[in-house]
Amino acid sequence: MKNKRYFPMFVDLSDKNIVVIGGGNIATRRVKTLLQFTRNVTAIAPAMTPELMELGKAGLVMIKYRNVKRSDLSLAYMVIAATNDHKLNDEIYRICKEEGIYVNIADDKEKCDFYFPGIFMQDELVVGITASGLDHKKARKVRIAIEQAMTESQDED
């Protein structure tokens, strides 16, 4: 199957409920990125990185130290499944599709309504970069190049 192109759309998440399922490094990175756009993030996992736990203690993220329940997804605008349990990820995907909730299964690009972009932000400027889920290293290189160009441009002003 030919790789699908995803429309780059910037969405106001400030009042949207985001659920991140998983407590590892990927979930932590996703939560940290999302916190730049909303404070309505809930992380659900029986175990979490120390950094994610600290974000919860600081009141920046709602933390639920347990397995996910179907009811956790009911009010979500967007769900990110970043677990290492493929069966659980498949179940989350199925439920989200049934309920019309945007879903991203972090380790399966075929089960993503959206890709999580590399992001560069400077003042009011927000740049999102994706390689359509095919080449994360290439997308990261482009993000770094944009960051360097913006920094150099700012230094010239």
For residue 65, give the amino acid letter: Y
Q: What confidence tens digit (pLDDT) does each residue in 70-88 have?
A: 999 998 999 999 999 999 9
**Separation between Cα atoms, residue 129 and residue 142, nearest integer Å:** 7
CATH code for the structural domain at 18-111: 3.40.50.720
pLDDT higher at 128 or 96: 96
Q: Tokens 């347990």 belong to which residue?
A: 66
State the Cα–Cα distance between residues 11 and 1, nearest whole angstrom. Answer: 28
1 pLDDT more than 70: no
Residues 23 and 17: their CA atoms lie apart, in Å, by: 18
The string of pLDDT tens digits covering residues 17-28 is: 999 999 999 999
Residue 139 scores a pLDDT above 80: no
Q: In this predicted model, what pLDDT tens digit does every residue of 95-104 receive, in sequence order?
A: 999 999 999 9
What's the pTM value of the predicted model, to 2 decimals? 0.84
- Residue extents of the structural domains in the chain: 18-111, 118-156
pLDDT bin (cut points 50, 70, 90) of residue 131 is low
* Residue (of 132, 156, 127, 154) closest to 143 by Cα position: 127
Contacts of 50 (CB under 8 A, 6+ apart): none
DSSP symbol at 64: E
What percent of the chain has pLDDT above 90?
57
Per the CB < 8 A criterion, the answer to whether 10 and 3 are in contact is: no
Residue 8: pLDDT above 80?
no
Token couple for 116 = 């999580």
63 or 148: whose pLDDT is higher?
63
Q: What is the mean pLDDT of residues 131-139?
A: 69
